[in-house]
Amino acid sequence: MGPRNGRSRISGSDIGLEYVFENIIGQDAVVDDLKGSLERDELPGSLLFHGPDYSGKLSTALELARGLTCRGAHKAVWGCTCSSCKSHRTLNQPYTIMVGGRYFQDEIEASAATFLRSPQPACRYLFIRSVRKLIRRFDPVFWDDKDATVKKVQSALADLDERLNKLNPEKELPSEAVLKKEVDKIVQLAGTVSAVRAVDNISIDQIRRLSVWAHGTSDSRKIIILENADRMLESARNALLKILEEPPPMTTFILLTGRKGGIIPTILSRVRQYSFIERTSHVSMDILKRIFREESGEYDSLRDFFLAWNINLESIRKGAGIFLEGLEGREPLNRTNLDSLFGKGKDNKKIFRVFLQEIQAFLGRRFTPEELFSDPSRGKQLAAWNDLFREALVGAEIYNQNPSLLAEGLYYKMRGI
């Protein structure tokens, strides 16, 4: 079905709505909204999913993509046997592409542990999909095979692809010992690939190549998912804006962000927005139990669960507390604390993001809405601090500034407000 009034639409009659999003947990309002738009044939060609990390934005985008591209008689049921749905289940569908950074290695390691504990079909899909989310960032759509970034990991990508094919759900699994060795090797190779920083942000070259691909002819609807769209540089934002102003037919753009304020107003005006809520502790525990087979009760949230794989969350929380204690006492900055958090060889951008989140969490517990309402000056201060947090995060994630120096600057700026 072609575009109408400049927007690509899909008829709800083409999709088995009783099945779409059956695997999305804890986002009922978004799911109901999307279903309603599909039923009324009012789904536009450009969407924005915004909300906290680990709230299911990418999972929902991928399920929507599967429904929109399904060619089976019983549309969008998870077990559909059409060629599109089969390739979607292992994230090999050629007309759905993903770009932008993500917590790749955390998810891969968590999914690998789940798969080894419980090598059932669902867990096999979970692991394969976690790795494919990384591999698909290197689609030829985005990269020239002569690009230095791709050449650096080309052999690792080829090896990963070959090993994942051996784990295809239609094939018999090897013995437990052989399987563990194979999964460990995949995790190791994924670590090599995910360490390439070029996959973190969305460049103008990627947007230009994406535009060429989107305008090409195809007998299938094309789905373009841009994860962490707030991290684009200005040049990439402007290039994307031009595409959204005149969207290609039979193409759906889905932008994902945990920081809606980082999306420029001109892009916001051209997308339909869907707000994802923070999952409650109860919902998170349900997801951990059902999907990751994690029943220890050790984790209060999906965020805590994923972060525990590669960083010391308790250490960062302690460091954030020391930072705020010094600020409250108007003491000189404790640089030893920052050195321990942002030492050499660490994933500093990720640690810095978590560090800022922990500071905001401390402040959220410290100042209740009632206190802020009764003391407007405190509310004004907190709003100004939040602006500083956003500015610092942009410096780290978009402009690659040194997190330790950003934290130092943040300390004295906060003191001055």
Question: Which mean pLDDT values do the consecutive 10-residue runs of the chain (417 residues) have?
Answer: 37 53 92 89 94 97 92 74 92 96 95 96 96 95 83 94 93 95 98 84 92 91 96 94 93 96 96 96 94 92 94 95 95 93 82 96 86 83 94 91 95 93
Could you give the CA distance from residue 352 to residue 319 in angstroms, rounded to a whole number? 11
Could you give the CA distance from residue 386 to residue 38 in angstroms, rounded to a whole number? 37
Could you give the CA distance from residue 314 to residue 316 in angstroms, rounded to a whole number? 5
Could you give the CA distance from residue 326 to residue 304 in angstroms, rounded to a whole number? 26
Task: Please give the helix or strand (H or E) that residue 222 lies within, else none.
Answer: strand 222-226
Sheet with strand 96-99: strands edge to edge: 96-99, 222-226, 251-257, 46-50, 272-275
Q: What is the pLDDT of residue 148?
A: 83
Class of domain 12-290: alpha beta
Within 10 angstroms of residue 232's Cβ, the number of other Cβ atoms is 28
Q: What is the pLDDT of residue 8?
A: 42
pTM summary value: 0.90
Could you give the CA distance from residue 15 to residue 210 in angstroms, rounded to a whole number? 27
CB burial of 253-284 (b: ≥16 within 10 Å; e: otherwise) equals bbbbbbbbebbeeebeebbbebebebbeeebb
Within 10 angstroms of residue 247's Cβ, the number of other Cβ atoms is 20
Q: What is the pLDDT of residue 254?
A: 98
Task: Please give the helix or strand (H or E) that residue 251 lies within, else none.
Answer: strand 251-257
Could you give the CA distance from residue 207 to residue 214 in angstroms, rounded to a whole number? 10
Q: What is the pLDDT of residue 4?
A: 32
Whether the Cβ atoms of residue 157 and residue 165 lie closer than 8 Å to each other:
no
> Coil, strand or helix: which one is 354?
helix
3-state secondary structure 148-184: HHHHHHHHHHHHHHHHHHHCCCCCCCCCHHHHHHHHH
Q: Length of the chain, please?
A: 417
Positive or negative, the Cα torsion across 247, 248, 251, 255? negative
Q: What is the pLDDT of residue 22?
A: 84
> Coil, strand or helix: which one is 48?
strand
Could you give the CA distance from residue 135 to residue 277 in angstroms, rounded to a whole number? 28
